[in-house]
Structure 1
Amino acid sequence: MTNSPAQQTPATPTDSASRVLRNEGNALLSLADALPRDFDAAVRLILNNSGRVILSGMGKSGHIARKIAATMASTGTPSFYVHPAEASHGDLGMITPNDICVVISNSGETTELSDLLAYCLRFEIPVIGISKRVESTLMRAATLRLTLPDIEEACALGMAPTTSTTLTLGLGDALAIAIMEQREFRPENFRSFHPGGRLGAQLAKVSQLMHSGDSLPLVGLDAPMADAILRMSESSFGVTGVIDAQGLLVGVISDGDLRRNMLGLMDRTAGEVATRAPVTVAPNTAAAEAVALMNKRKIYTLFVVESDRIPVGVLRLHDCLRAGVV
């Protein structure tokens, strides 16, 4: 006699996890193979918009809407989330006629969205609807419709929002990145919105971490080594740059150069001891790239020069690591 579902031995946690991930992964592949018909039009609408993109949704859809808004805002599309229930109590004033609303509801019949949709209709604010039910109230009210495939939820009961929220999140990421790439959003733009944390550090420029101004250790080609050593000690960088009569960097003296030239060191000039044609970087070089260069050349300090080899700073590996550049 076959056991009823309630009597069957439960799957292991690993089996459950594998089933959920495969189901959601297959759903995303299905969406990738058949993107909503209005997807390109939605990208163009947002690109040509002079205002902000307002995301809204209730419950789990609201959580996804918040994440999509955050992704858009960090990739060059001014965006924020408005809670539909709060919108009915004054927050509708946050939405202007220049904005676009992206409204999410898996069923398309979320009651709390009614006032928001009516407001958008009244002030002719474009609405991009995201739902799996094309004939729902939301999708009938929407200017553009991003219809999700009607795929069962990944939970065994078929009720907990799982596959549907994954599809919505994936579609939101696709929309944000498509807009970002159409804008030709660059790493330096990304850095502006991510100044903190490791990501900000990875996108930092050499000019943001280098030492400059009076702290820059420099001596002339003909300077006695006594002066060069004094300058190295004063700066605490362990190096000094050697410049010619035009102020161009022609060499660097490091602790290693001092050790290699101990014999008669104090009777020589900076130009005679310096390592010529030193490794340098430009101010706009990514700090991560500078760290890679220092690791490759097994050095701990780089002089920063303009295109004409005029020294403008010193970058230490220690400063990069302290800032979180790895």
Structure 2
Amino acid sequence: MRTGTIAALVLVAAAALAGAQGFSADYVQGVLSIEQSGSWYEVSIGDAIPADGTLKLGAGSYAELSNGAVTVKLSSPGTYRMPDLVKANETISSAHLGNLLSRRIEVLTRGDSGQSPNSVGGVRAAEAQSGPQTVWAGGESAEELIAQGIALLKNGSYDEAFYRFKDAYDNADSSVAPEARFYMGYAASLKNDTFKAITFLTSYKPDPASSYYSNQVLILAQLYVQTFAYKDALGLLDPYIAAGSAADQDLQTAYLLQGLAYRGLSDAQHAKTALLKARDLIPGSPVADAAARVLAGM
């Protein structure tokens, strides 16, 4: 037996073992309920969730469940069986979506102005006087704070970047606030704070005229897929793809996410069509490889 096949079997066995273990509620925002003897009982943080349990997430709610090896995140209201969630989570994990999220940093643009993330004080205050930018008490404009935050993201300083974007949002006018809020959401996602990430990324509807439109659509759609909000993901992806204006790299990512969403909805035909497009659009790319892995498991 080939080494690669053995390794794959080991991973499958490990995932099956992890899924058989009981879960606990690590985070609950809103209402999460569990069925017991035909009745529903509200779940609190720290409560045990049987591996074969049935859960119901309320409207506007969010939950994270973990057994130490597997973490399941829910953002879409509905009724779920734990075995189904674990199995679907394995499929999503096989696409390595976390790597796609971090690679979005490479295509951020505002930070390319050459600003240092530590540029503060009198120099920036003097520069800000020459334009109509909104300036806060520290001396930087909201636009400059965003640029500094992007530089921090690229350096891997996600916490510091988040608070730089928050400063920008708190001091931005209506023309800049949506961009600052988007970056708050992106930084939160990189910090693995999914609830805040979705909250911030949905504060403003994606605007096709904005420079960060593709990033907002793809990052939010990815978070929706990872939290089983498949219909919400398709609500973003279907019109984005249909518009026909996305760059090939972005379109390929959209196809991958679209395929995962359709598969999550048990629509194998549409899932396969989208995944084949993701695989073939830029052959040999990380997204193509991810699509191939998901197709192999169908």
Q: TM-score, normalization: structure 2?
A: 0.25
With a CA cutoff of 8 Å and minimum separation of 6, indicate the structure with the bigger relative contact order. Answer: 1
> Which structure has the greater CA radius of gyration?
1
After TM superposition, the score normalised by the length of structure 1 is: 0.24
Higher share of residues assigned helix: 2
